[in-house]
């Protein structure tokens, strides 16, 4: 046996979300076995620490019960010392759908990706825990950056940090007047009725399918006030959908187009179920010309992850040791200081500065919908403030319009 505790060699940060950061890392078990993993570490935030910690623990419990090949696997919790906990999951070497859409992913491999995630969503909602209780998991943040494609053709649905599930063990509770999600991928009813349902996840899948086919987002260049207006106006929503469908490549299979139109329907009742999406994609993948997902992954030059040095980059952590002991163990090793005072190991750094947080869609951490005012719909009034903390931008927007006042906390998107 090599030792009596696990250790982690933490590499670059590969994702930054509303409440945490995800690092590529290498775990060495007590028996000496080494595994590449992803470490999701909760970022300290005294303003939202209790809520974020509860969601973090919920995510770990949820992932441990979701046994599906297209759901990222959770291995365990890790104690990094000084009260810092990390969720240890598998690391999928590859790229997300947002990056793959930018370089061009064919219709057939795209259908395989969407079908696999749809199957995972069906299993997440209709599956049961070890005691036979229904899971009833609703992801609530389906978007291309949360759909991971591995270099060998594997597909994983990531980031269940704001998911809702039916278990009584859930610690976090979303307040009745709050909506959580990523605005460009949220279903209309999420704005207008403040409800989450499996149909809302299917709408997000439709947005992912559209972006994969066209290469740009379904709601690109659409202002927040226009999105909120369409949430209340089915005709305007239908017109927007029709204009976007006109931009589909002529080579898109008619049944793929029909599926896309159903997934993006304004009325949740008109959308297919996740299981139906999975079955349709499976059938279409056999009819559409082009390479399979596995072949496409083998042939394509995968885009590199936007990784950068952050707080934990370069650290070697052994469970059971406090921060002082960690520092003592690292003495004598070459180090550099890289932004925000983080001490890092040079061989774990990627060249170049950290990418801008705005390179991926923004994630809305909380979107309270106040009662509609008597005189709504008179445009938008924006009050914008920015706060830099731990390398993360926080923008607060106040919008007065048809839905009333939307208070939005926007943070950088991540894994």
Each residue's pLDDT, cut to its tens digit, for the chain (415 residues) gives 456 789 999 999 998 866 789 999 999 998 999 999 999 998 766 455 666 777 788 888 889 889 899 999 999 999 888 878 899 999 999 999 999 999 999 999 999 999 999 999 999 999 988 888 889 999 999 999 999 999 999 999 999 988 988 755 554 555 545 677 888 999 999 987 777 899 999 999 999 999 999 999 999 988 888 888 898 999 999 999 999 999 999 999 999 999 999 999 999 999 999 999 999 999 999 999 999 999 999 999 998 888 777 889 999 999 877 655 555 545 444 333 233 333 333 333 333 333 332 333 344 433 444 344 343 443 333 322 322 322 333 333 333 333 333 434 333 444 6
CB atoms closer than 10 angstroms to residue 169? 12
Catalytic residues: 141
Give the fold, CATH level 3, of 94-299: Transferase(Phosphotransferase); domain 1 (1.10.510)
**Within the chain, which residue ranges are assigned CATH 3.30.200.20?**
7-92+305-353
**Within the chain, which residue ranges are assigned CATH 1.10.510.10?**
94-299
Give the fold, CATH level 3, of 7-92+305-353: Phosphorylase Kinase; domain 1 (3.30.200)
Closest CA to 291 of 108, 99, 102, 104: 108
Contacts for 340-345: CB closer than 8 Å, 24+ residues apart: 340/310, 340/311, 340/390, 340/391, 342/309, 342/310, 342/311, 342/312, 342/313, 342/314, 343/314, 343/315, 344/309, 344/313, 344/314, 344/315, 345/313, 345/314, 345/315, 345/316
The distance in angstroms from the start CA to the end CA of the chain is 34
Structure tokens at 259: 């599926």
């Amino acid at each position: 046996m090599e030792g009596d505790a696990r250790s982690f060699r933490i590499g670059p940060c590969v994702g930054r979300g509303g409440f945490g950061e995800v690092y590529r890392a290498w775990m060495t078990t007590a028996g000496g076995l080494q595994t590449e993993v992803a470490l999701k570490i909760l970022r300290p935030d005294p303003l939202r620490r209790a809520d974020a910690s509860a969601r973090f623990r919920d995510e770990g419990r949820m992932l441990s019960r979701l046994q599906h090949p297209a759901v990222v696997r959770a291995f365990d919790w890790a104690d990094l010392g000084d009260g810092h906990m990390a969720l240890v999951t598998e690391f999928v070497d590859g790229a997300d759908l947002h990056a793959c859409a930018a370089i061009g992913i064919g219709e057939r491999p795209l259908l395989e990706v969407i079908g696999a995630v749809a199957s995972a969503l069906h299993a997440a909602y209709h599956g049961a825990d070890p005691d036979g209780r229904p899971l009833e998991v609703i992801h609530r943040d389906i978007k291309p950056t949360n759909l991971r494609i591995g270099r060998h053709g594997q597909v994983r649905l990531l980031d269940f940090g704001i998911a809702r599930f039916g278990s009584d063990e859930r610690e976090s509770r979303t307040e009745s007047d709050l909506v959580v999600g990523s605005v460009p991928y949220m279903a209309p009813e999420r704005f207008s009725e403040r409800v989450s349902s499996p149909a809302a996840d299917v709408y997000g899948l439709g947005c992912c399918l559209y972006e994969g086919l066209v290469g740009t987002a379904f709601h690109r260049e659409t202002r927040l006030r226009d999105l909120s207006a369409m949430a209340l106006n089915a005709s305007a929503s239908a017109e927007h959908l029709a204009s976007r469908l006109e931009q589909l490549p002529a080579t898109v299979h008619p049944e793929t187009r029909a599926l896309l139109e159903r997934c993006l329907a304004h009325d949740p009742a008109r959308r297919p179920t996740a299981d139906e999406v999975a079955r349709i994609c499976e059938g279409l993948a056999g009819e559409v010309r082009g390479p399979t997902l596995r072949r496409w992954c083998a042939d394509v030059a995968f885009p590199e992850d936007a990784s950068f040095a952050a707080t934990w980059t370069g650290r070697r952590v052994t469970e059971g040791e406090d921060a002082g002991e960690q520092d003592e163990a690292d003495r004598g090793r070459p180090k550099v200081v890289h932004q925000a005072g983080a001490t890092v190991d040079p061989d774990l750094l990627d060249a170049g500065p950290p990418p801008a947080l705005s390179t991926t869609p923004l994630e809305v951490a909380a979107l309270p919908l106040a009662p509609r005012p008597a005189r709504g719909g008179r445009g938008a009034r924006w009050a914008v403030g920015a706060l830099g903390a731990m390398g993360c931008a926080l923008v607060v927007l106040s919008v007065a319009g048809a839905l009333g006042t939307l208070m939005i906390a926007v943070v950088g998107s991540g894994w």
